[in-house]
A and B are shown apart, each in its own frame.
Chain A
Amino acid sequence: MDSGTFEPSLYTVKAVFILDNDGNRLLSKYYDPELYPSMKEQKTFERNVFNKTHKADNEIAFLEGMTIVYKSSIDLFFYVVGSAQENELMLMSVLNCLFDSLSHILRKNVERRCLLENMEGVFLVVDEIIDGGVILESDPQQVLQKVNYRVRFLSVIPQNLLYQYNHWKFKQKTSVLDCRNTNQCRCLV
């Protein structure tokens, strides 16, 4: 939150990560070697960010001196981290590009299972959007063209059906979890 002009630079993104709905890391990239150099620090940071953000879909947060923009989809959380002075809208454009590109290659099934099935595509997309902290591309169409990645197994199942199945499964899971917390259910069990 410091004021003053900072060194103009192309190094916009400090980190990108994708977590599942338990806060486990599925993919993460840190571009600033001075920021959380050890794996332990990175995971603690991710845990803190997850705890502060998974409850409400607020799009933007400020934690540990860092601006974080995020987005969730079914059981996935996407985060883009920048410095406190960074233009929030630039970070937002990275996040949107990441999400839209993935949404396209996963045929709108942006959920954990599908993402993991196509992990190589995800790695390639992230690689095309950010290179060492510099925004390489922010237009999803361009990213898709460059990655030129074909989804492997999804074509067999009709898309909307799978989406609905996943959605239903997720709902089920959460409702079961909720029930478990109430006294009534505990008696039944």
Chain B
Amino acid sequence: MIKKFDKKDEESGSGSNPFQHLEKSAVLQEARIFNETPINPRRCLHILTKIIYLLNQGEHFGTTEATEAFFAMTRLFQSNDQTLRRMCYLTIKEMANISEDVIIVTSSLTKDMTGKEDVYRGPAIRALCRITDTTMLQAIERYMKQAIVDKVPSVSSSALVSSLHMVKMSYDVVKRWVNEAQEAASSDNIMVQYHALGLLYHLRKNDRLAVTKMLNKFTKSGLKSPFAYCMLIRIASKLLDETEGGHDSPLFDFIESCLRNKNEMVVYEAASAIVHMPNCTARELAPAVSVLQLFCSSPKAALRYAAVRTLNKVAMKHPSAVTACNLDLENLITDSNRSIATLAITTLLKTGSESSVDRLMKQISSFVSEISDEFKVVVVQAISALCQKYPRKHSVMMNFLSNMLRDDGGFEYKRAIVDCIISIIEENPESKETGLAHLCEFIEDCEHTVLATKILHLLGKEGPRTPQPSKYIRFIFNRVVLESEAVRAAAVSALAKFGAQNDDLLPSVLVLLQRCMMDSDDEVRDRATFYMNVLQQKQKALNAAYIFNGLSVSIPGLEKSLHQYTLEPSEKPFDMKTVPLATAPITEQKTEIAPVATSKLPEKLAPSRQDIYQEQLAAIPEFQGLGPLFKSSEPVQLTEAETEYVVRCIKHTFAGHMVFQFDCTNTLNDQLLQKVVVQMEPSEAYEVVHCVPAPSLPYSQPGSCYTLIRLPDDDPTAVSCTFSCTMKYLVRDCDPNTGEPDDDGYDDEYVLEDLEVTVADHIQKVLKPNFGAAWEEVGDEFEKEETFALASVRTLDEAVGNIINFLGMQPCERSDKVPENKNSHVLFLAGVFRGGHDVLVRARLALADGVTMQVTVRSGDENVVDVILASVG
């Protein structure tokens, strides 16, 4: 590289770059001639250029040397050379943050901005505003106001743009210039119009009414500048979005009318705005799609790109709307700009038929290596969507993905591919073996720890259940030999799973684990020793509890409980049952691939919803001593959405109690509610222990009150109950404007809808990755079986959905998805009953004239089995 450089310099002569070997110190030395009289404009200009060039190259200037140069430069204001003066302005702007005391040039700049030379005035304003702070701004406010309405466009534009920059710093001062900006907005010059509109919007954007007024004014009067039109369209669509205005509003009409503008820029902006609107119907999209279709055949690459990128977005939500453009898109798949071609193909993949998939895939694989990572991710996303649409095409896709996996690419790209392959494996059992084989090959040479551990985990889960589990062992053990600690530890866990499930592999796995016990890393050694001992017991129950199905507690909860335990030394061993369970099982989350732009954001480990509730409830003294929070339900609405008071309830279940949290909102602006409680009348033997009132409920500020209920001890099967609820409170009327309440109030009440507690509130979802093992682990000591006929249900899908909702348990082994065209299905459900008893349900469903269901329940506690069966019946 360096060699090539030297060669080139020789060839083109040393004069090729006058700035090639600039030395900062030498340039600063030269800058001394600024002090000579008379000033030599030519030489000074050259030195200023050198300084700016150096700054631009990233040369670091110390404060002292920069200040020195800056002060020398101020002398150049004596010269009347135009270019030199303009370069002085540039230098001031570049050095504003480096040099000290830059405000010394304020008076010179003020003189130029109000002087006779129009060429100086605009740039002088911009330079001046760059070095001005809030206090100084007041001093030049008068000049700024004059400049904004100046009849010379460049002066007005400069003043408007500089004001915009200063809004961030001194909003209050700039706000006073609204009238001047308003006047400038009616200027004939297109750029002044645009800048005035931008400034006006920034000053008013928090006042929706003012923005609406402004929009009305400008959409009616019409503007000349295409830039200003684009800005108006953006403001209009934002306003539509915020007000959730219907698409019959004048704003929508305005945006649509822009589709017929003369300028392509405006037409595209309008089309893009319509496409991005949420809940747009196909009919509303049609005009936007047809202008985009026209752009597809434009000779300008940027326009084609813009059109096809926007069409690609439409295709995500409304594939049918884009079908009309298929022919135009076909022409673009061989476009020399690969970005355009990729977008065209991925759009076609979304809109086209199954038969065109092979052809398109072939086309795209011919240039996939030429496109940037961002677009490769787009391709993978399209493939992933395609696999869900056409499951039969998975072999083509899998082949393609494995080729992509072998190519070079960044982490985001590889992760997208791996996620896509994993989702294909989960959707199509027949693709499992090829998919696993590709992934095995990938981890042989994978630099991303996260991906390697993810794949190893998957191998441990799926591998043992394939016809030939032994072939994966080699891949996994290679990792133990070659990789970093995290990967080695994951590999050890995967190995253990093979040993636990396949008896004939057990001896070899034990030998391998023996070797892992010599590992240099603590975690790897610990895991190996632990699994070794568990496996040597050869007990199914132990395997199930400690190898297949890991801990199902919430990690932050466990951390807190352990911390608490160490603070209070006691003789008792730590009890895992006191730890709150994890709420949303990790695999339950939709594996949606994050959009490219947002994927850069760091993923935060947010505490789960239940952990937050746990904190909140623990802070209330009345609820201390209830033990860990077992489950929090989804909120239940107890009022209509549009009533005076809006109340919703969250049911929190504890070991022997329930807490009902009522989130109330007062929607009357002339009332203040105080001492709000919800009185509950149970239908069964439940006992209301305590009410915690919400002290005060002002207009539109939500508040919570709580009611504590003791669950009946003597009858463990009484799990369901209906409560009639009434909200009681003290009303104080108040002034709607000031919120000042009257001195005295009166008691009032408000009847809420009934609240039901069902069996689902007593069961927490727990995912058992290996249901079979868990089933064996619980054993058949308390097994009960019963058969039911579900007469009202017509399909298996519906039946499965109903059972899951009713019992509130976690479906395992992906048994919540009923394969198509089947007459029977087995549903596996797992959960933990209040009090910490595992409960497992196996429901065999058969479809014939309604659905027949045979339910088998296993649990460690007999009562629980009875409760479940009783509630199903």
Instruction: Using CB atoms and an 8 Å cutoff, list the residues of chain A in contact with chain B.
Output: 1-10, 22, 25, 27-29, 39, 42-43, 52, 56, 58-65, 69, 84, 87-93, 112-113, 116-117, 119-121, 123-124, 127, 131-132, 134-138, 142, 146-150, 169, 173
When the two chains form their complex, are residues A58 and B339 in contact, meaning their CB atoms are under 8 A apart? yes
* Nearest CB of B to A68, in Å: 10
Instruction: Kindly list 14 other residue pairs between chains A and B, CB separation below 8 angstroms, not including A65-B600, A142-B191.
Output: A1-B374, A2-B595, A3-B313, A10-B164, A42-B58, A58-B336, A87-B268, A87-B272, A88-B305, A113-B12, A123-B49, A131-B161, A137-B157, A173-B11
A79 CB to closest chain B CB (Å) equals: 13
Q: Is A1 a contact partner of B596 (Cβ separation < 8 A)? A: yes
Binds A, one of B24-32, B295-303, B640-648, B761-769: B295-303
Question: Could you say which residues of chain B place their CB within 8 Å of the CB of A60?
Answer: 301-302, 305, 337, 339
Which residues of the other chain, B, contact A4 by a CB distance below 8 angstroms? 241, 276, 278
B195 at the binding interface (Cβ < 8 Å): yes
Residue of B123, B227, B313 touching A135 (CB-CB under 8 A): B227
Question: Complex formed: what's the CA distance from A112 to B123 in Å?
Answer: 27
Cβ contact of B157, chosen from A88, A117, A136, A173, cutoff 8 A: A136
| Chain B: CB-nearest residue to A152 | B42
Contact yes or no, B241 A5, CB < 8 A: yes
- Bound CA span A134–B191, Å: 11
B597 touches A84 (CB 8 A): yes
Minimum distance in angstroms from B156 CB to a CB of chain A: 11
Interchain nearest-CB distance for A177 vs B (Å):
8
Contact in complex: A59, B337 (CB < 8 Å): yes
Residues in B neighbouring A43, C-beta threshold 8 A: 58
Is B134 an interface residue, CB under 8 A from the partner? no
Question: Which residues of the other chain, A, contact B241 by a CB distance below 8 angstroms?
Answer: 4-5
Known: A25-B57, A124-B83. A63 touches B372 (CB 8 A): yes
A-B pairs, 8 with minimum CB distance: A8-B234, A10-B198, A39-B58, A59-B301, A58-B337, A89-B265, A88-B306, A120-B49
Find out whether the CB atom of B302 lies under 8 angstroms from the CB atom of A134: no
A25 partner residues in chain B, CB cutoff 8 A: 56-57
Does chain A have a CB within 8 A of B137? no
The residues of B that contact A3 with a CB separation of less than 8 Å are 276, 313, 595
- In whole angstroms, how far apart are the Cα atoms of A42 and B269 in the complex? 29
Q: What CA separation (Å) do A189 and B333 show in the bound complex?
A: 44
A119 & B49 in contact (Cβ 8 Å cutoff): yes
Q: Which residues of B contact A147 (CB under 8 A)?
A: 86
- CA–CA, A25 and B58, complex, Å: 10
**Contact status of A134 and B375, CB under 8 A, knowing A60-B302, A120-B45, A120-B49:** no
Q: Whole-angstrom distance from the CB of B14 to the nearest CB of chain A?
A: 12
Tell me the B229-262 residues at the A interface (CB within 8 Å). 230-231, 234-235, 237-238, 241
Contacts of A120 on B, CB cut-off 8 Å?
45, 48-49, 52, 83, 87
CB-nearest residue of chain A relative to B263? Answer: A89
29 A–B contact pairs at CB < 8 A? A1-B378, A1-B595, A5-B241, A10-B164, A10-B195, A22-B5, A43-B58, A58-B336, A58-B338, A60-B301, A60-B337, A62-B375, A84-B597, A116-B16, A116-B18, A117-B18, A121-B83, A123-B49, A123-B87, A123-B90, A124-B86, A127-B93, A134-B161, A134-B164, A134-B195, A136-B158, A136-B191, A137-B157, A142-B191
Taking a contact as CB atoms under 8 Å apart, the answer to whether B198 and A9 are in contact is yes
Q: How far is the CA of A40 from the CA of B727 in the complex (A)?
A: 63
Question: Are A146 and B195 neighbours in the complex by a CB distance under 8 Å?
Answer: no
- Interface band, chain B: 35 or more
How long is the Cα–Cα vector from A90 to B378 in the complex, in angstroms? Answer: 24
- Minimum Cβ distance to chain A for residue B665 (Å): 27
Which of these, A5, A42, A61, A65, contacts B597 with CB under 8 Å? Answer: A65
B82 sits at the interface (CB 8 A) = yes
Residues from chain A with a CB closer than 8 A to the CB of B165 are 131-132, 134
Q: Would B234 and A5 count as touching, CB distance under 8 A?
A: yes
Contact of B53 with A by CB under 8 A: yes
Residues 18-63 of B at the A interface (beta carbon under 8 Å): 18-19, 45, 48-49, 52-53, 56-58
Taking a contact as CB atoms under 8 Å apart, the answer to whether A127 and B123 are in contact is: yes
Q: A8 to B338, alpha carbons, bound, how many Å? A: 30
Q: Are A64 and B234 interface neighbours, CB within 8 A?
A: no
Q: Give the Cβ gap from B194 to chain A, nearest Cβ, in Å.
A: 8
State the Cβ distance, B80 to closest chain A Cβ, in Å. 14
User: Which of B's residues lie within 8 Å of A, judged by CB?
Assistant: 5, 8, 11-12, 15-19, 45, 48-49, 52-53, 56-58, 82-83, 86-87, 90, 93, 119, 122-123, 126, 154, 157-158, 161-162, 164-165, 191, 194-195, 198-199, 201-202, 227, 230-231, 234-235, 237-238, 241, 264-265, 268-269, 272-273, 276, 278, 300-303, 305-306, 313, 336-339, 372, 374-375, 378, 595-598, 600
Considering the complex, give the chain A residue whose CB is closest to the CB of B157. A136
**Residues A89 and B303 in contact, CB atoms below 8 Å apart:** yes
Which chain B residues lie closer than 8 Å to A63 at the CB level?
Answer: 372, 374
Neighbouring A residues of B596 by C-beta, 8 Å? 1, 65, 84
Which of A5, A90, A93, A119 has a CB less than 8 Å from the CB of B238?
A5
Q: B53 contacts which chain A residues (CB < 8 A)?
A: 119
A78 to B682, CA, bound (A): 75
Q: Measured between alpha carbons, how far is A148 from B81 in the docked complex, in Å? A: 12
CB distance from A15 to the nearest CB of B (A): 12
Bound complex: CA A10 to CA B161 (Å): 9
On whether the beta carbons of B195 and A8 are closer than 8 Å, the reply is: no
CB-based contact A8/B238 at 8 Å:
yes
> Given the complex of chains A and B, what is the CA–CA distance between A56 and B339 in angstroms?
12
Query: Complex formed: what's the CA distance from A138 to B237 in Å?
Result: 25
Roughly how many angstroms separate A59 CA and B516 CA in the complex, as a whole number?
Answer: 56
Q: A25-B56, A58-B336 are in contact. Are A1 and B597 (CB under 8 A)?
A: yes
By a CB distance below 8 angstroms, the chain A residues around B300 are 59, 92
What CA separation (Å) do A27 and B8 show in the bound complex?
A: 20
The closest CB in chain A to the CB of B377 belongs to A1
Give B58's nearest chain A residue, CB to CB: A39
In the bound complex, what is the Cα–Cα distance between A82 and B268 (angstroms)? 16
For A142, the chain B residues whose CB sits under 8 A away are 154, 191
CB closest residue in chain A, given B594? A2
In the complex, which residue of chain A has the Cβ closest to the Cβ of B198?
A10
Complex Cα–Cα for A65 and B338 (A): 16
Determine the residue in chain A with the shortest Cβ distance to B236. Answer: A8
| Docked-complex contact A93 and B195, CB < 8 angstroms | no
Does the CB pair B336–A52 fall under 8 Å? Answer: no
What chain B residues lie within 8 Å of A27 (beta carbons)? 56
Residues of A contacting B303 in the complex (Cβ-Cβ under 8 angstroms): 88-89
Chain B residues with CB under 8 A of A9: 198, 202
Asked whether, in the complex, the Cβ of A87 is within 8 Å of the Cβ of B230, the reply is yes
- Chain B minimum-CB-distance residue to A173: B11
Output the least CB separation between A107 and chain B (Å): 17
Docked-complex contact B230 and A2, CB < 8 angstroms? no
Chain A minimum-CB-distance residue to B265: A89
Using A8-B234, A116-B18, A120-B48 as known contacts, say yes or no to A87 and B276 having CB atoms under 8 A apart.
Answer: no
- Name the one of B90, B158, B161 contacting A124, with C-beta atoms under 8 angstroms: B90
Neighbour of A116 across the interface among B17, B338, B374, CB < 8 A? B17
